[in-house]
A = this chain, B = another copy of it.
């Protein structure tokens, strides 16, 4: 694994643990459920935030609250996704999902609390004190991309599509919203933390959009066990075949690299974000 990925992940884990520290015994139960679900995972979204911020000159200490924000949203969405009325998944990351471990009501509330805390993390940060206009922009991005025009909108479409084979256009919209929106937000939060201008934001979002599409396809490729019959109905592999899925993933990676080279030409150090794309491809080829 790339060194910076490990370093970023460790710092994010530490910051999440501090953010979700039970300050008072009255709240122990809900905080326990929040920590159970929010401490873990690859932290890809938070890493994108930190790396975009760093590329544009913002220290990790300053952008960390934004990474915590996006990781809180990611954690809440997984808890609510696993609930019986949604995907009804008993396991998550190799352990019982939140509602199995803490009961449905507590899982619902832990999700609500994590979603809410995303905005506490950003608004209580030093960045919010020093650069309120950056912090409120981050709130606008995160809430917009996570809400009914973004991630939640994608979940609604996904629910509707769960029972039938979806057409290509709808599937692409679901990916764009359900997974893609939060990945785009992650990059833009890094831009906000650094106060990057509109042109830099647009190139960053382009990278993140292509990254998200590649990420989703590669996930479907890794989930594919070689049998098209038992394959999940709306898997990219089921719809397009394994070969085209691999080609398309690489083509999205290439598009992300193009966005990155424009940033590189402007003098920014794009090494880590380039390595991250290679890391995705390595994952696919394993």
Using a CB–CB distance below 8 Å, which chain A residues touch chain B? 23-24, 26-27, 29-31, 34, 76, 80, 83, 85-86, 103-106, 108-109, 111-113, 115-120, 122-124, 128, 132-133, 135-137, 139-140, 142-144, 146-149, 152-153, 155-157, 159-160, 173
A248 CB to nearest chain B CB (Å): 23
A268 CB to nearest chain B CB (Å): 26
Q: Is there an interface contact between B124 and A26, defined as CB atoms closer than 8 Å?
A: no
A82 CB to nearest chain B CB (Å): 12
**Residues in chain B near residue A115, CB distance under 8 A:** 112, 115-116
- Determine how many copies of this chain the complex contains: 2
Q: Is there an interface contact between B133 and A120, defined as CB atoms closer than 8 Å?
A: no
Q: Is there an interface contact between B105 and A86, defined as CB atoms closer than 8 Å?
A: yes
CA distance A120 to B148 in the complex (A): 11
A202 CB to nearest chain B CB (Å): 19
**Residues in chain B near residue A143, CB distance under 8 A:** 116-120, 123
- Chain A contact surface mostly: helix
Residue from A83, A149, A153 whose CB has the most chain B CB atoms within 10 Å: A149
Q: Is there an interface contact between A113 and B31, defined as CB atoms closer than 8 Å?
A: no
Q: Is there an interface contact between A128 and B153, defined as CB atoms closer than 8 Å?
A: no
Q: Is there an interface contact between A152 and B85, defined as CB atoms closer than 8 Å?
A: no
Given contacts A115-B112, A116-B143, A119-B139, contact A153 B26 (CB under 8 A): yes
CA distance A118 to B157 in the complex (A): 22
Q: Is there an interface contact between B132 and A136, defined as CB atoms closer than 8 Å?
A: yes
Given contacts A116-B143, A120-B144, A148-B117, contact A86 B108 (CB under 8 A): yes
Q: Is there an interface contact between A147 and B106, defined as CB atoms closer than 8 Å?
A: no
14 inter-chain pairs at a CB distance below 8 angstroms, sorted by A residue, are A26-B157, A30-B152, A76-B112, A83-B108, A106-B156, A116-B143, A117-B147, A119-B119, A120-B143, A120-B144, A122-B139, A123-B136, A135-B136, A139-B139
